[in-house]
């Protein structure tokens, strides 16, 4: 009986919220914010579909709440993409595939369709409304930066952020959406733990890193208290040669060819760094936010490894029955999820899985390949099958994220109502 009345109240409040949001929407439609109207003319000439913001998008339906949004297929989306390299300045040079002559554009015209429900395409207005007064940090490697830049481009239909970075160091950025008092933080930490170059003249000498598997990388662990959401990721850097430390002592290394050292697989380090990163988060007294683990996004080198001429030349997504998560990809994924579950079980902080692995496994067509630079340029990753072109499939991560933030709001609401109920008894 009590539960029923809670449900009824939730429904009433949901209706109130929907009405409030419709009002906000109507107001916004008639009185667009200045930054929007200035990009609007720009946008309409480039033929990009305008943003719509229907009340129907706001509510999460029951089938969506129960649905596993991460199991599904890519389906054609003639409306995409939602920005171009002409409307968005935030595209990283090496992911500006159209600039460097990528001949096909079909890879920008897909959206993710979960098997059990529909996942709405990202709505930048709704997102900014939901994160008003909040902040979101990306912690990890350049694929995390890739995601942040995708979001800046998707949000550029509403507003561009201003650079409020504490230093000029490109590894630590802050972007602020002034009209929404919303901030993105970016923390470069490809190994998530304390690391260093083994050689005094930098890692380029032998390419060897020292990884301190049980030591926090304080450049981010001491900074997250201010953030409401933290999206954490790591993966591709663990294929590099490195010497592994635990308790301040060398425990082994990966492909380092130093005398008397135990060779350890990258999975050894991978498990320990997630354990350490989650321990750091669980130990932050003042951190009240939600941590999203953005799971490993597989690379798609075919016919060779990254440094042996491997490339990614496909022009359409796989269907889910055409490929399988296996080998190292599966191992890395399982390790992440296991360590994530262990951290969650401590019940100290909120942990959520932004489980992009399956969706991205199906996108061999979304990487820059050789279109991340001019043909005559001498770059390390000549055929890039790791990062994602912008616009491109990584834009769908925003669809997932918005859904999860809505779920978070719903959860908070239910908790508050239950607390209220308890007090009334
Ligand atoms: C955008 O891409 C086009 C090709 O579609 C290219 O000609 C142009 O230089 C690019 N512009 C920017 C600003 O990257
Ligand atoms: C902006 O948000 C922060 C929290 O992220 C809050 O402390 C601050 O008071 C807000 N400022 C305004 C002007 O609302
Ligand atoms: C390697 O181990 C052997 C036997 O324990 C020892 O004699 C040798 O000095 C060690 N070499 C290095 C470089 O530590
Ligand atoms: C995968 O599924 C699709 C649609 O159900 C089907 O048409 C196709 O033949 C299947 N492909 C394979 C390799 O099983
Ligand atoms: C590319 O750069 C590397 C390191 O900077 C250098 O060793 C190599 O010779 C260069 N290759 C070409 C083709 O210029």
Residue 246 is assigned to a structural domain of this protein: no
Nearest CA to ligand 4 atom 9: 321
User: What is the pLDDT at residue 198?
Assistant: 81
Domain contains 354: yes
Return the biggest CA–CA distance within the chain.
Answer: 73
User: Would the pLDDT of 50 be above 80?
Assistant: no
Of 139 and 22, the one with more pLDDT:
139
415 found inside a domain: no
| Phi, psi of 145, deg, nearest 5 | -65, -40
Ligand 1 geometric centre to CA of 48 (Å): 16
For residue 58, is pLDDT > 70? no
**Domain of residue 271, residue span:** 33-195+216-235+262-405
Domain membership of residue 93 (yes or no) is yes
User: Ligand 3 centroid vs 250 CA: distance in angstroms?
Assistant: 14
Closest ligand 2 atom to residue 226 Cα is 5
Number of domains, the chain:
1
Instruction: Kindly identify the ligand whose nearest atom is closest to the C-alpha of 73.
Output: 4
Ligand 4 center–CA 322 separation, angstroms: 7
Say how many Å lie between the CA of residue 181 and the centre of ligand 2.
6
Q: Which of 214, 355, 384, 395 is catalytic?
A: 384
Q: Which residue of 46, 48, 81, 85 sits with most ligand 1 atoms within 8 Å of its CB, as the best mutation to test the pocket?
A: 85
Q: Does 418 fall in a domain?
A: no
Greater pLDDT, 37 or 243 = 243
In this prediction, residue 414 has a pLDDT band, given cuts at 50, 70 and 90, of confident
Residue 29 has pLDDT above 70, yes or no: no
* Separation between Cα atoms, residue 281 and residue 343, nearest integer Å: 9
**Whether residue 142 lies in the annotated active site:** yes
**Whole-number Å distance between alpha carbons of 240 and 313:** 24
Higher pLDDT, 425 or 309: 309
Pocket residue to mutate for ligand 2, from 128, 162, 164, 181, most atoms within 8 A of Cβ:
181
- CA of 260, closest atom in ligand 3: 1
Please check the confidence at residue 273 and state whether its pLDDT lies above 50.
yes
The token pair that represents 57 in the structure block? 């998008």
- C-beta 324 within 6 A of ligand 4: no
Reduced to 3 states (helix: H, G, I; strand: E, B; else coil), residue 309 is coil
* Helix boundaries (H) for 283-378: 327-345, 357-361
Counting from 1 in the atom list of ligand 4, the atom nearest the Cα of 319 is: 1
Report pLDDT for 59: 64
**Mutation choice for ligand 3 from 249, 252, 260, 262, CB with most ligand atoms inside 8 A:** 260
In the sheet that holds 242-246, the strands lie side by side as 193-197, 209-216, 242-246, 249-254
pLDDT value for 150:
98
Is 141 labeled as catalytic in the residue annotation? no
Per-residue model confidence as pLDDT tens digits over 147-178 = 999 999 999 999 999 999 999 999 999 999 99
- Active-site position among 94, 367, 387, 403: 387
Is residue 318 pLDDT above 70, yes or no? yes
Asked whether residue 20 is assigned to any structural domain, the reply reads: no
Distances (CA, A) of 296 to 20, 130, 145, 302: 38, 26, 14, 18
Could you identify the residue written with the tokens 């075919």? 302
pLDDT at 191: 98
Residues in the chain: 425
pLDDT band at 379 (very low <50, low <70, confident <90, very high): confident
Q: Is the CB of 47 under 6 A from ligand 2?
A: no
Single pTM value for the model: 0.85
- Kind plus residue range of the DSSP H or E element containing 130: helix 124-130
Residue 420 is a catalytic residue: no
Residues 252-270, mean pLDDT to the nearest whole number: 91
Hunting for tokens 């339906």 — which residue is that?
Answer: 61
CATH number of residue 309's parent domain: 3.40.50.1110
Residue 110 DSSP SS3:
strand
- The whole-number pLDDT of residue 4 equals 44
What is the rounded average pLDDT of the residues 268-281? 98
Cα 156 vs. chain centroid, distance in angstroms? 17
User: What distance in angstroms lies between residue 134's CA and the mean position of ligand 2's atoms?
Assistant: 8
Let me know if residue 424 belongs to a domain: no
Atom 13 (ligand 4) nearest CA:
322
Residue 245 falls inside a structural domain: no
- Across 34-48, 136-150, 404-418, least confident range: 34-48
What pLDDT is recorded for position 54? 47
Least-confidence region, from 10-24, 135-149, 203-217: 10-24
* pLDDT at 62 exceeding the cut of 60: yes
Name the residue among 305, 129, 286, 273 with its Cα closest to residue 222: 286
In this structure, which residue's CA is closest to atom 6 in ligand 4? 321
Closest ligand 4 atom to residue 322 Cα is: 13
**DSSP code of 369?**
B
Express each pLDDT in 344-376 by its tens digit.
999 999 999 999 999 999 999 999 999 999 998
Residues 6+ apart with CB under 8 A from 30: none
Residue with tokens 């802050």: 174
Out of 94, 129, 142, 300, the active site residue is 142
């Amino acid at each position: 009986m009590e539960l029923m009345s809670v449900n009824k109240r939730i429904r009433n409040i949901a209706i109130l919220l929907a009405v409030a949001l419709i009002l906000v929407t109507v107001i916004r439609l008639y009185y667009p914010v200045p930054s929007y109207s200035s990009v609007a003319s720009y946008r309409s000439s480039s033929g990009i579909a305008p943003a719509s913001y229907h009340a129907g998008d706001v509510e999460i339906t029951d089938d969506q709440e129960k649905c596993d949004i991460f199991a599904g297929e890519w389906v054609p989306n003639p409306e995409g993409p939602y920005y171009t390299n002409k409307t968005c300045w935030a595209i990283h040079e090496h992911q500006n595939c159209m600039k460097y002559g990528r001949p096909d554009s079909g890879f920008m015209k897909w959206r993710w369709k979960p098997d059990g429900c529909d996942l709405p395409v990202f709505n930048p207005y709704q997102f900014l409304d939901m994160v008003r007064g909040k902040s979101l940090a990306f912690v990890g490697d350049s694929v995390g930066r890739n995601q942040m830049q995708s979001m800046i481009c998707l949000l550029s239909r509403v507003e561009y952020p201003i650079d409020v970075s504490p230093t000029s160091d490109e590894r630590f950025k802050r972007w602020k959406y002034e009209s929404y008092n919303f901030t993105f933080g970016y923390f470069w930490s490809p190994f998530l733990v304390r690391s260093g170059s083994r050689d005094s003249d930098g890692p380029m000498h032998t390419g060897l890193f020292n990884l301190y598997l049980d030591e926090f990388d304080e450049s981010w662990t001491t900074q997250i208290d201010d953030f409401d959401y933290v999206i954490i990721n790591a993966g591709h850097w663990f294929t590099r040669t490195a010497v592994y430390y635990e308790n301040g002592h060398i425990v082994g290394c990966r492909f380092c060819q130093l005398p008397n050292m135990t060779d350890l697989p990258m999975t050894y380090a991978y498990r320990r760094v997630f354990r350490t990163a989650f321990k750091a988060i669980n130990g932050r007294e003042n951190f009240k936010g939600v941590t999203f683990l953005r799971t490993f996004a597989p690379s798609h080198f075919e016919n060779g490894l990254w440094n042996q001429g491997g490339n990614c030349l496909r022009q359409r997504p796989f269907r889910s029955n055409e490929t399988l998560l296996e080998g190292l990809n599966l191992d890395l994924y399982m390790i992440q999820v296991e360590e994530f579950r262990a951290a969650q079980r401590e019940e100290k902080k909120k942990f959520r899985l932004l489980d992009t692995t399956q969706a991205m496994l199906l996108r061999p067509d979304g990487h820059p390949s050789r279109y991340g630079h001019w043909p005559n340029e001498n770059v390390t990753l000549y055929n890039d099958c790791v990062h994602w072109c912008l616009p491109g499939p990584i834009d769908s991560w925003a669809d997932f994220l918005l859904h999860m933030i809505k779920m978070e709001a719903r959860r908070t609401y239910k908790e508050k109502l239950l607390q209220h109920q308890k007090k009334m008894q």
